Structure 1
Amino acid sequence: MSYRPRAGHALMGGGLALVVAHGDPATLRVALSLALAAASVGDEALVFANQSGLALLTHELPSPDLLELRTLATEAGVRWVACADSLAAMGLSRDALIRDVELAGAVRFYLAARAAKVSLYL
């Protein structure tokens, strides 16, 4: 069986695909900086948060500067994707996430990442 994305869920055609699996402030800062850098030069940026990296997409961030960076990245067009399996495993609901976060699984991220020019894991 092959995976086919649903209509309206276009995959990226280049740019940055970033996995954020750690929720410590230093990792979140690097992830936000890289996503913002990609978007600022006109590239697509897709950030897939899983495991403790889901902290990046929750309403509470550990510091005001991270909130400012996330706001700038959102305004620049960065796409936020939360791992649906990690969300369930951590006991979080969709309501715990900021607005405009897509939910997806590993297959959908993989398809986006293989089309990206740069893929990173943090």
Structure 2
Amino acid sequence: MADDYQSPRPIYMQIVDKIMLQVARNELKPGQKLPSVREMAIESGVNPNTVQRTYGELERMQIVETKRGQGTFITKNKEIVEEMRKKLQFEVVDQFISKMKELGMTEAEMIDQLHYYMKEREGE
């Protein structure tokens, strides 16, 4: 099933983001083989060149390793995976803080609101 790509971000970067999120959530495990470029292109509904660019970017970021004749694999380097997780977490927190500041909230108000939200979620 093809993914829905609508962001102004390039499609290959949207696929990079998706794979990084899957690694961060441990849906893709260290050492796990990714689909071939052709399989991923069909699965994602994009051109194989887009997937090739995606895999190249992930390799540049050291999230994957390509083994000639075997395929592309998620890195087994736990430090790289943990660093990527922390980077993703930081980006989410940074976006949250920016949006809350746009609403005119102080740091104390953000923390109070976060505590309130978490308490409400526990009740669900």
- Both proteins in one fold, TM over 0.5: no
Higher helix share: 2
Query: If the length of structure 1 is used for normalisation, what is the TM-score?
Result: 0.32
Higher strand share: 1
Larger Rg, first or second structure (1 or 2): 2
